[in-house]
Amino acid sequence: MDVKPYVKSPVLMRDRGVVKNLRQGRGFSECELERVGLSIGAAKSLGIHVDVRRKSCHEWNVKILQEFLAKSSGGSQSA
């Protein structure tokens, strides 16, 4: 299963700092992984993409990770 985060698009001067939409990111930040209790190594072993350059921590990505972990742990226990 491939899970990817959503990040804000770069702010352009002509948009006057208004974030119009989100785009798919390269990977989850270390802060987002820490909030759900995962290390970088554990995330990579689960197939979760990690972007060590990102410093932001978005709540919607934390929710995506929590849902992914709930599905993956729930599916492995019933199998």
Give residue-wise pLDDT tens across range 38-53.
Answer: 999 999 999 999 999 9
Q: Does residue 9 or residue 6 have the better pLDDT?
A: 6
Residue 79 has pLDDT above 80, yes or no: no
What does the chain come to in residues? 79
Residue 31 has pLDDT above 80, yes or no: yes
d(CA 28, CA 11): 20
pLDDT > 90 in the chain, percent = 59
pTM as predicted? 0.77
With residues binned 3-state (H G I as helix, E B as strand, rest as coil), the percentages for the chain, rounded to 5, are 45, 10, 45
